[in-house]
Amino acid sequence: MNELPRNTLCEIISDYGIAILDDGRRCEGLLLDLCPSHYRENRVLIAALNERIPNALLNPPLNSGIDLLLPRLTQQLTSKLAVTQEESESAILSWALALKVISNSDLAQILKSESKLSNNNSRKSEKRELNKPISITRNRNVKQSVARKHSRTNGDKNLMENSSYNYDEQQPFASAEFAENPEPRCPCILLLDTSGSMHGNPIDELNKGIQAFRDELLGDSLSSKRVEVAIVTFGPVNILSDFASVENFTVPHLTTTGDTPMGSAISTALELLKTRKETLRNNGIQLFRPWIFLITDGSPTDSWQHIPAMIKQGEDTKSFSFFTVGVSGADFNTLKQISVREPIKLQGLKFREFFLWLSASLKNVSQSNPGDTVALPDHRPYGWAEV
């Protein structure tokens, strides 16, 4: 592990005490703020926190030394996460150093011993043959003094039991895509009506609006990495663009045909989103709440009566936020039934203004942390909606 994340963790524990172990979100935020270029190391440190590694270090079995505890905890962490043994061991040693379970000289001795064992090709046994066993029990006085200084609560006995941030679903990434861009993602699905009634000026303006949307987000370095866009069209239903970060998103050229199978299109979009969320979580990528924007000028020509319950369930569980925008001619009574939010009527064909507002909204979200409540820009100044 690079020394910066390890030293930063030591500083955080020194400044905030072991009380910070009860707040995984804050601990992660501090690590990312203080050493943002070491995202993977930070993620493994936080994953170790979620696996209660610090708790195990502070409350070891009687007379256990780090030489006995380290292999067991390394195996535990490696088996739970898609990381190497070296990454697991490095994270555990970082926590041990930050919590004063071991000293800098102890750490140097362990690393030197590990290097010697590696050179002798003896790591196959997964046993650490240290020259000087280091007893964790000798540092219990340090733990107690830190605890008194920072006023441990009754919950400190089990440090992570009441942690409000759950990393169980966050597995460190394995895919090259996420290794190159490990930023949290804000998925956004554009669910677009391309039925025959959108022919002419409506589809032309919609195409221009999507291009402006991409250009605006691309101009923001963080949004271009964090916002993911997918496009599902209906008339007939087609996944025109699967999820891609803005920097990799190619704007398709929309054409019109067919009727308005809105119900099938929404089901397809929800399934697409479910699959993408699973992929992100399996690769240890954090998620902002996804957005789905439905834009239509018509009424469903297929079965849609089951859709409102699906949308409500998704909204209630905070799985996504679903918005509807109606162009002139849209069936607003049906849109009201589909979404838990009031549909908004587009003023004329001001798609460009709508997408400028949407890009500004996504920029606000991407500048925040996953889980934060973010105030979206008022749509009225953009002049795209009828009030």
Give backbone dihedrals phi and psi of 42, rounded to 5 degrees, phi first.
Answer: -65, -40
Does 119 have pLDDT greater than 80?
no
In this structure, the number of other CB atoms found within 10 A of the CB of residue 60 comes to 18
What is the mean pLDDT of the segment spanning 363-383? Answer: 72
Task: Output the pLDDT for position 185.
Answer: 92
Confidence label for 375 from pLDDT (cuts 50, 70 and 90): low
Q: What is the distance of C-alpha 366 from the center of its chain? A: 11
What is the mean pLDDT of the segment spanning 274-297? Answer: 92
Give me the half-sphere count of Cα atoms (radius 13 Å) on the Cβ side of residue 379. 17
- Residues 187-205: tens digit of each pLDDT: 999 999 999 999 999 999 9
Q: Give 328-347 as a 3 state SS string.
A: CCCCHHHHHHHCCCCCEEEC
Q: Hunting for tokens 């000798």 — which residue is that? A: 138
Q: Which amino acid is at 149?
A: K
Taken in order of first residue, the domains within the chain and their CATH numbers are 3-156 (no CATH), 176-382 (3.40.50.410)
Helix axes 39-50, 66-80, angle to 10 degrees: 100
Task: Output the pLDDT for position 66.
Answer: 78
- Residues 37-58: tens digit of each pLDDT: 787 888 889 888 988 889 888 8
Cis peptide before 236 (omega within 30 of 0): yes
Q: Which of 8-17, 124-133, 232-241, 291-300 has the lowest mean pLDDT?
A: 124-133
The alpha carbons of the chain give a radius of gyration, in whole angstroms, of 26
Q: What is the distance of C-alpha 364 from the center of its chain? A: 16
Task: Output the pLDDT for position 38.
Answer: 81
Does 387 have pLDDT greater than 60?
no
What is the mean pLDDT of the segment spanning 3-28? Answer: 87
| 334 vs 126: CA distance, rounded Å | 63
Q: Any residues with CB less than 8 A from the CB of 27 and at least 6 apart, and which?
A: 12, 20, 21, 46, 49
- Residues 341-354: tens digit of each pLDDT: 999 999 999 999 99
The Cα-based distances of 256 to 86, 136, 260 in angstroms read: 55, 70, 11
- Residues 58-80: tens digit of each pLDDT: 887 766 677 788 888 888 888 77
| 268 vs 275: CA distance, rounded Å | 11
Long-range contacts of 29-35 (CB under 8 A, 24+ apart): 29/369, 31/5, 34/8, 35/4, 35/5, 35/8
| 40 vs 358: CA distance, rounded Å | 31
pTM greater than 0.75 (yes/no):
no
Confidence label for 32 from pLDDT (cuts 50, 70 and 90): confident
Does 323 have pLDDT greater than 60?
yes
| 94 three-state secondary structure | helix
Which structure tokens are listed for 87?
């990454």
Q: Give 178-193 as a 3 state SS string.
A: HHHCCCCEEEEEEEEE
| Contact by Cβ (8 Å): 269, 301 | no
Give backbone dihedrals phi and psi of 212, rounded to 5 degrees, phi first.
Answer: -65, -35
Q: Which of 148-157, 189-198, 271-280 has the lowest mean pLDDT?
A: 148-157
| 104 vs 159: CA distance, rounded Å | 24
| 384 vs 379: CA distance, rounded Å | 7
Q: Any residues with CB less than 8 A from the CB of 271 and at least 6 apart, and which?
A: none
